[in-house]
Amino acid sequence: MVSKIMKKSEIEWKVAGGLVEYPDALSFMDERVAGIHDGSAQECVWLLEHPALYTAGTSAKASDLLDARFPVFETGRGGEHTYHGPGQRVGYVMLDLKSRQDAPDIKKYVWSLEEWVIRSLAEFGIVGERRCGRVGIWVVRDDGREEKIAAIGVRVRHWITLHGVSINVDPDLSHFGGIVPCGISDHGVTSMAALGVDGAGLGEVLRCCFFDVF
């Protein structure tokens, strides 16, 4: 088994200082995955925020785009419509599953991404949960409402991963009103701030919890 220390040394951990344009992020992921595939680049986790925008995954329905008030980008990740914007921490994960799993398993990888987010939120006292048939991480409010606090969307090329997770730290939640988030209309979205939690320090927590899971 590869040690945690070795895994850390193999992964480039990037944190963007400002907003990153979505096409620039896609270009970076494409180039990095190609480099990982040919052995010229390290695996990478990139934490960033985007300007306000919507993305449409491979299962997106046109009817779920209710109000294109922000730019809309079609992307090759799985899933439906998602919002990204300031106050939302995105984690793009580029890992070679062939070198990390005895038999590459996308379901196991998605489970690991979920576990990463759940453990990270737990460090702030937030109980994040999985829901069968509903992608993402969910919290239960005091009145019983279930709301999504984190989204997950992945793509795999040559068994190397692209895209990843997004966690709502303190975004403008009204911006989600332009879409049916991930095709789910029966439940809303929330954020760490809406739960009364200060998300300062999330980046370092994500780093620590990542190496506990992967």
Q: Show which residues are catalytic.
A: 182
Please choose, from the candidates 139, 142, 129, the residue with its C-alpha nearest in 3D space to the C-alpha of residue 192: 139
The residues, any chain, with a CB within 8 Å of residue 4's CB and separated by 6 or more, are: 211
Identify the DSSP state of 52: S
What domain range includes position 121?
A: 4-213
Per-residue pLDDT at 10 = 86
Per-residue pLDDT at 138 = 97
pLDDT-derived band of residue 5, with 50, 70 and 90 as boundaries? very low
Q: Say if pTM beats, i.e. exceeds, 0.85.
A: yes
CATH number for the domain including 15? 3.30.930.10
Number of domains in the chain: 1
pLDDT digits (tens, 9 = 90+) for 7-66: 566 899 999 999 999 999 999 999 999 999 999 999 999 999 999 999 999 989 999 999
pLDDT digits (tens, 9 = 90+) for 127-174: 999 998 888 999 999 999 999 999 999 999 999 999 999 999 999 999
Identify the DSSP state of 79: S
Q: Which two three-digit tokens encode residue 88? A: 């939302």
Q: Which two three-digit tokens encode residue 33? A: 């995955």
Q: If DSSP codes are grouped into helix, strand and coil, which group holds residue 97?
A: helix
Per-residue pLDDT at 9 = 63
Q: Which two three-digit tokens encode residue 10? A: 């193999």
**Is there a contact between 178 and 69 (Cβ–Cβ < 8 Å)?**
yes
